[in-house]
Structure 1
Amino acid sequence: MFPRLHIVTDALDVVRGAIGHGPVVIQVRVKSGDRDAYQLTVAALALCRAAGDALCLVDDRVGVALAAGADGVHVGADDLPVEAARRVLGPAAILGATCRNPSSARAAVAGGASYLGVGPVFATISKVGLPPPIGVDGLAAVVDAVPGTPVIAIAGITVARVAELPGHGVAAISAIAADPAGATVKFLGALAARGGVA
């Protein structure tokens, strides 16, 4: 089953702490150059492979993902279009797309997205320049629009909020960074307690 917890990071220490507790997706997001992104992805991928239940994706950079042999890519609204990324990656790779409403979600799925990162659900300080939060109702509207496609809630996600969120799972950045192992265990526990993957 596709992991329900996605951890977005630029730190190998976070990867080390987050894996080994249950299935997760590690999404490598590096703001510096491709070389740094490639080196971190190669290192993270090795840890994910050793864990056996962790996938490694690269944020934005299709070329880096291909060069490193990552499991796939997540593209945002300003990145390569979903259709183009799918052509480059081929049919087998995981391809995530950021969406915030039902129409963009349906378009992304039609273009070849494997899953959707939907938000910002809540306000967050992890990324600047984001549009206004869509809230739980906005997230639910997207979930309803793309039945069968995993929807991952992003932005402002905490363990305490997991129970109120519809969709397949959640993505976390700042909520994981301070205590990767402990926070991962808590998130996985909250997702399991919530039940369902709709």
Structure 2
Amino acid sequence: MLPKDLFSLYLIVDPILCGGHSHCVKLLNAVIPCGVKIVQLRAPNWHKGAILALAKDLLTITRPNGIPLIINDRVDVCLASGADGVHLGANDLPVESARKLLGPEAILGYSVNNEKALEHSIRLGHKIDYLGVGPVFPTATKADHAPPLGIERLRSICSRSIHPTVAVGGINAQNAAEVMAIGAPDALAVISAICAAKEPTKAAHELCQEIERGRKMKKATANN
């Protein structure tokens, strides 16, 4: 099930960016106490055995802390590892098939980067639990990403979504509050802002502070 306190920091861990399996585990262990509420393992160029081994090690950190571990794309790895769910894009296994394989309790996220994909997510209804919306800004993490949405299109998509929304793509401590306040997602996802940071724990703390600041800005605007 989707955690009620998703509305904060969603960390996507890339083992290549982290420096390998052991460094990825070490980083996650360090940043979990800093406010990370949900974790996604994204390793597009790794073979199943390597992803599975890493997923099992990450679960030893996330599960005792009550934090869901989501596997990007790989339903097979999710099932084999016992992870909490998967995140799928338009070119991955169809959502309907994934839901049948994973069952009703698994968390299923879906990527949306335009209005057509948003309409499809609405038709999918309860088969998915949340949307990953982006990229909001240009990002080097995913070379083949769609054109950046910008904050105004992000806000438009988030306001029309029937699911919780997670903004992703080029988000860091410098823009997190603005994205949260103006773009109006429910949570922010980051990769390099933590995985490539010189001080990951400091970066995670700063991001959580900026998310909270953005939430307060949004509330203040709504009350005016």
Give TM-score, length-normalised by structure 1.
0.92
Q: Equivalents in 2 of 1:69, 1:35: separation in Å?
A: 14
Q: 1:8 is matched with which residue?
A: 12
Tell me which amino acid in the other structure corresponds to 1:152: V
Of the three residues 52, 55, 63, the one matched with 1:41 is 55
Whether the aligned pair in 2 keeps the contact of 1:152 and 1:171 (CA below 8 Å) is yes
Counterpart residue type for residue 157 of structure 2: V
**Structure 1 residue aligned with 2:105:** 92
TM-superposed CA distance for 1:23, in Å, is 4.4
Residues 117-146 of structure 1 deviation map (CA, whole Å, 9 limit, x = unaligned): 011110010111112101111111111111
Aligned with residue 165 of structure 2, among 151, 157, 160: 151
Counterpart for residue 118 of structure 2: 105
**Larger helix proportion, structure 1 or 2?**
2
Say if 2:36 and 2:204, in contact at 8 Å, map to a contact too: no
Give CA-to-partner distance per residue, 1:159-185, whole Å, 9 cap, x none. 121122221011111100123211111
Q: 2:133 touches 2:168 (CA, 8 Å); kept in 1?
A: yes
Compared CA separation, residues 23 and 173, structure 1 to 2 (3 A): closer
RMSD: 1.8
Distance 1:173 1:88 in 2: 28
- Which runs of 5 or more structure 1 residues have no equivalent in the other structure? none
Q: Aligned equivalents of 1:76 and 1:13: distance in 2?
A: 28
The residue correspondences of 1:97-136 to structure 2 (distance < 5 A) are: 97-111=110-124, 112-136=127-151
Q: Is the 8 A contact 1:101 1:141 kept in 2?
A: no
Alpha-carbon separation, structure 1, partners of 2:71 and 2:31: 16
The letter of the residue matching 1:125 is A
Partner of 1:170: 188
- Worse-superposed segment, 100-109 or 152-161: 100-109
Between stretches 105-114 and 83-92, larger displacement belongs to 105-114
**1:87 and 1:142 mapped to 2: Cα distance?**
27
CA distance in 2, matches of 1:46, 1:110: 36
Aligned to 1:17: 30
State the one-letter code of the partner of 2:49. Answer: R
* Secondary structure of residue in 2 paired with 1:80: coil
After superposition, give the CA deviation of every residue in 1:73-115 in whole Å (9 maximum; x if it has no partner).
1112221122221121111111001101233123224321100
2:153 is the alignment partner of 1:138: yes
* Alignment partner of 1:79 is 2:89: no
**Aligned residue for 2:211?**
191
Query: Which residue in the other structure is 2:18 paired with?
Result: none
In structure 1, distance between residues paired with 2:77 and 2:177 = 35
Structure 1 consecutive aligned stretches of length 4 or more whose deviation exceeds 6 Å: none
